[in-house]
Amino acid sequence: MKDCGGHFHGKHLKRSLDYVMNPEKTQDGRLVGAINCQVDSAFEQMKATKRKFGKVDKRQGYHIILSFREDEVNPDMAFEITRRFVEEYLGKSYEAVYVVHDNTAHVHSHIVFNSVSFVDGKKYRYEKGDWAKYIQPITNNLCQEYGLSIIDVGSKEKEHESYKDWSEYREGSFVWADMIKRDLDSCILQAGNNEQFLELLSDKGYEVKQGKYLAVKPQGMTRFRRCKTLGDMYSDEAIRERIEKEDISFYREQQKEVQPVLCKCKVRRYRRAKMSGLQKRYYAKLYRIGKLKKKPYSQVWKYKEDIRKMHKLQEEYLFLVNHDIHSAEELVSVISSLTDKRKEVSAEKSRIYKARERSRELFDIADDMKELEPAEKSFLQGDEFFTDEHLQWETLKQKLLSQGYSLEEVEALRKHYKEEYSKACAKERAVFKELNIGKSIWKSLIPDSVSDGKDAQYNKETIRDRKEQPER
């Protein structure tokens, strides 16, 4: 978080702390913790540390996000893992606030910490590669301890490939590239020189940036695209050469070289409706004044916000229909029912999690036996080199038998808990989504003076107060 300058140097740090500690995302503050400071006064304590060492400007703080695989952890486990990570990585030198957000399908945690150490006043410095050297190994060790998925730090090539795929998806390269190349070809064909080529691009609605490489940006695209990345035919030198060589006659010559191929196909033809004389005159007039210009390749970007609003309204409409809601009182009743249902589902999920934790010792023994399994197979085939591993295997096997389980039964039990926990998480997400839609409808009904930007109280008194307000 950089310094915003001016008289309030910690503005971005304060905003980040307020965002991560949002009660709606942290179960009313239950999933909020801090180290080396108090939650309620974290920003003031961080600011006091900066003043103590005379470092109130420049970098104000840092924000780390830990994301877990969907349905793999519950909020309490994520909170415990995050707490241990913060204690190990930041606990000796920095004030930090850590929270868990469970309002999305993927449970994730946020860590916001001061850029200045309260011990010696030194500023935290992140160097390139620190993530792979220090941060990821700590999270991997914690996730292994809790039986969660880990990230392979060494797979840098895969990491770069996945970022490239993500970047292309975000920028819509798979959509924009063909359109940009088609427009570039058209402008090259019409232009007599480079200046005319750039003017034609501008007329088509492109923003053009000429630096070391020529880059263009059509309407709706968020970043400039270098032309040379579209292929060898679109580098700066290639474009200039094509402007000099290519014209209509050039393409006609190219077409002559292509051998024609006869294709047979049956096409059902429809007669086009004929226009009257008046219609033809009106159509020609529209064409002359520019009303019939060809539309751009895609107009979807203009309506993205409208589409989002339409989906939201559709969800709210289906919510009202599915729950047969005809009045504000019925809406309040449904919200109350969904709130109770969410608590029940959360309680069921916690019950499954606790039951699974009670069998943690069995699972740990089974994991140890899984590691020894290759050695045990080799021993049974006559390789006495693995005698020690065989003895360990027998010891672990007796431990399971003493508790009335075999290795296969423990694995079946683990699979059962995993499936039950996944079902409970799916139910909780479904109820949470329905509850959010109901709250959204309710907030659109009550005036700002009642809500005051805070959670509304869903009761009959609020409804009565709303009805008694005079019409304007």
Top-ranked range on mean pLDDT: pick from 100-104, 291-295, 340-344, 463-467:
340-344
The mean pLDDT of 418-435, rounded to a whole number, is 92
The answer to whether residue 40 scores a pLDDT higher than 60 is yes
Q: Are 462 and 336 in contact (CB under 8 A)?
A: no
The answer to whether residue 48 scores a pLDDT higher than 70 is yes
Cβ-based neighbours of 457, under 8 Å, separated by 6 or more: none
3-state secondary structure of 180: helix
Q: Are 89 and 26 in contact (CB under 8 A)?
A: no
For residue 332, give both structure tokens: 């309040």
226 vs 177: CA distance, rounded Å: 11
The answer to whether residue 415 scores a pLDDT higher than 60 is yes
* pLDDT for position 374: 87
List, for residues 68-77, the tens digit of each pLDDT value. 877 788 888 8
The mean pLDDT of 218-238, rounded to a whole number, is 85
Cβ-based neighbours of 395, under 8 Å, separated by 6 or more: none
List, for residues 429-438, the tens digit of each pLDDT value. 999 999 999 9
The answer to whether residue 467 scores a pLDDT higher than 60 is no
Q: Which of 120, 15, 118, 2 is nearest to 60 (CA)?
A: 2
Q: Where are the beta strands (DSSP E) in 71-167?
A: 96-101, 108-114
- The owner of tokens 């006559």 is 382
151 vs 69: CA distance, rounded Å: 11
Mean pLDDT score across all residues of the chain:
81
* pLDDT for position 409: 93
φ/ψ of residue 119, rounded to 5: -85, -55
348 vs 353: CA distance, rounded Å: 9
- In order of 34, 225, 299, 301, the CA distances from 37 in angstroms are 6, 46, 51, 46
The mean pLDDT of 181-202, rounded to a whole number, is 87
Please spell the DSSP secondary structure of 290-353, one letter per residue.
Answer: TTTPPPPS--GGGGHHHHHHHHHHHHHHHHHHHTT--SHHHHHHHHHHHHHHHHHHHHHHHHHH
Is the torsion defined by CA of 152, 158, 163, 166 positive or negative?
Answer: negative
- In order of 64, 83, 87, 135, the CA distances from 97 in angstroms are 11, 10, 11, 17
The answer to whether residue 208 scores a pLDDT higher than 80 is yes
* pLDDT for position 469: 46
The mean pLDDT of 4-21, rounded to a whole number, is 75
The band of 202, judged by pLDDT with boundaries at 50, 70 and 90, is confident
* pLDDT for position 182: 85
Classify strands 214-217 and 207-210 as parallel, antiparallel or unpaired.
antiparallel
DSSP 232: G
The band of 451, judged by pLDDT with boundaries at 50, 70 and 90, is very low
The answer to whether residue 355 scores a pLDDT higher than 80 is yes
* pLDDT for position 433: 92
List, for residues 273-332, the tens digit of each pLDDT value. 777 777 788 778 877 776 666 655 556 667 778 888 888 899 999 999 999 998 889 999
* pLDDT for position 161: 46
* pLDDT for position 457: 53
Between residues 343 and 171, which one has the greater pLDDT?
A: 343
* pLDDT for position 148: 80
255 vs 110: CA distance, rounded Å: 61
The answer to whether residue 450 scores a pLDDT higher than 50 is no
Q: Are 167 and 176 in contact (CB under 8 A)?
A: no
* pLDDT for position 375: 87
Segments in 146-219 forming alpha helices (H): 156-171, 173-190, 194-203
The helix (run of H) or strand (run of E) holding residue 461 is: helix 460-468
Burial class, 37, CB count within 10 angstroms (exposed 0-12 / middle 13-18 / buried 19+): buried
165 vs 262: CA distance, rounded Å: 41
- Least confident residue range of 103-107, 189-193, 270-274, 382-386: 270-274
The answer to whether residue 380 scores a pLDDT higher than 60 is yes
Q: Which of 66, 74, 31, 77 is nearest to 150 (CA)?
A: 66
